[in-house]
Structure 1
């Protein structure tokens, strides 16, 4: 008979694979963490090679014209920072120190790079978080409005707005916003994280808004939030335009599906149809773009932070590049790479939360 049992040891087409211990989520996290570690090592290698190829002498950039003429001073500087060793030895020494949490000694601040990063990174992350939340709220909402009103005047206007947002250079927007909103009309605070003469809140997270709220310093909280608005608006201009375009395209694609037409045929309100049946599946593409945009905000805030005197990672990276501070440049590269990898991991995990059809296999 055709219903005879399959011989032992044979593998049928419909036979399930044995379940992995710990479940697919742990396997997925394990694979991604291993890949993240390898990516970090590769990024350090690329960054180290590129910094070695940059024309210029770190000793000349840091010692000045008088000291560079003294061979003993130059030799002492190179020995202090390990620049007298061969390049492969320098890289292996650096990797060994990084594995122990030692990013080296900054040549510009003469402090450990890890201490500098702990001071500057929270300021940039606070600014980027504020900008990405603002971008999501505005960009997604306007993108849905444009898609629902396809080819009508709201859609036409919003498409022009989104095109302008992605086309205008960020540094130009920053200069115009600083001149109009601060210098000309005085509507928003200008540079820095707090008003002049105001002391930072007790350190807890490095985020002035959160630290001030935890300490109950509401005047400091108000000042910190006010100083966040202008640079966050500038950073959000490009991201809002990009999110509007992606949201509009994703929503238009989903609006043509049968289950959306069925929901409307049942008499569900348009608001319920958009929020439950359209926006949720569209969020997969939107979150992907938002994750990439958040990483870009961290790495692209150099000009904005310099214009608004924001003491963050951008200013530290700029000074490190100008002074050929190799440990500082490497530290910034590792931090930005780690943030990118972490954001991509969180985005992948959110896929399964938003869309239950996606499985981590």
Structure 2
């Protein structure tokens, strides 16, 4: 072989770049596949835990006279599939979930999916407004406390956040209802809207949104008035939590070298705060906000009871007390799916805010 050819052959060729899936797309695909796997696990866990609950659903749903008749008991168990082995019951339940059929409620005698479609939007509306208030006030208070570290504003906000975390939500709901409605009469009573106005035409189930879509400003004003007090009660704990986490996250970022370098360059304080500090501090803030929204959505039972708010908390309580197994499993599935959706959204926001997350 000529020397020229040997020299050419010895030179390594540059590796071709493979056009693969973008990092953000790979990141999203992994998270979605993991969410689907966890959704299957939620159906299994809710089914097993529901069937481990002590008590007999037959005795809870049949009267004493019917309970004494073996033929009626056997017929009831056959109608609700309780005479089959557990693995077969789970297979039927999983097949129904895939098709959107969550079974029949034993207390309302309606499909569980229809009941949840009626109750879930009320809780979503309440929890959504509460988390929006919490994000605005909690993040703002945390930033102010961090920028005014060890000053009067910092001490006041830290005390207020500690009070918000420490005060029991049900006690605060009772006090707010008694003071603002019963004594001062500056807020509406219980429910989602004034009975004289009635509910707007149902489109989304969110009465504030449905009232706007229907052009009914009177119903919208009434719905906002009924919504604001329970939302503020629910938001107080989350405001205190976000204030403390935001303060610690902002203080940690303020001590980084790149923030000091930005100050040395003479960049305006507003640019440093929004472009450098808040963006870096958003990851822990988003984590806490996502967990807080899931907690608000699944922990509104007492607040809904005090304000007569027809949400999923009331439906879950009634289903549990009557051992309505399809309804209990439906509520558990909805809450679990909501947590999965929130975690997926948080993961996506991680990848958007911090490119290092999606490249790992």
**TM-score, with structure 1 as normaliser:** 0.92
1:218-233 paired onto structure 2 within 5 Å:
218-233=217-232
1:245 corresponds to which residue? 244
2:112 corresponds to which residue? 113
**How many equivalent residue pairs?**
355
1:69 corresponds to which residue? 68
Q: Secondary structure at the match of 2:192?
A: coil
Tell me how far apart the structure 2 counterparts of residues 169 and 15 of structure 1 sit (CA, whole Å): 63
1:84 corresponds to which residue? 83
Is the deviation greater in 205-214 or in 65-74?
Answer: 65-74
Contact 1:190 1:230 in 2 (8 A): no
Q: Secondary structure at the match of 1:317?
A: helix
1:177 corresponds to which residue? 176
Tell me how far apart the structure 1 counterparts of residues 68 and 229 of structure 2 sit (CA, whole Å): 46
Is the deviation greater in 47-56 or in 313-322?
Answer: 47-56
User: Displacement of 1:327 after TM fit?
Assistant: 0.6
**TM-score, with structure 2 as normaliser:** 0.93
Flag structure 1 segments of 5+ consecutive residues without an equivalent. Answer: 9-13
Tell me how far apart the structure 2 counterparts of residues 15 and 303 of structure 1 sit (CA, whole Å): 63
Contact 2:35 2:344 in 1 (8 A): no
User: Displacement of 1:58 after TM fit?
Assistant: 0.8
Is the deviation greater in 127-136 or in 159-168?
Answer: 159-168
1:33 corresponds to which residue? 32
Q: Secondary structure at the match of 1:192?
A: coil
User: Displacement of 1:357 after TM fit?
Assistant: 4.5
Q: Cα deviations across residues 309-350 of structure 1 (Å, max 9, x unaligned)?
A: 111111111111111111111111111111111111111111
Do the aligned partners of residues 248 and 80 (structure 1) sit closer, same or farther apart at CA in structure 2, a change above 3 Å counting? Answer: same
1:1-361 paired onto structure 2 within 5 Å:
18-20=18-20, 22-360=21-359
Moved over 6 A (4+): 14-17
| Larger Rg belongs to | 2
Flag structure 2 segments of 5+ consecutive residues without an equivalent. Answer: 1-7
Tell me how far apart the structure 1 counterparts of residues 15 and 311 of structure 2 sit (CA, whole Å): 55
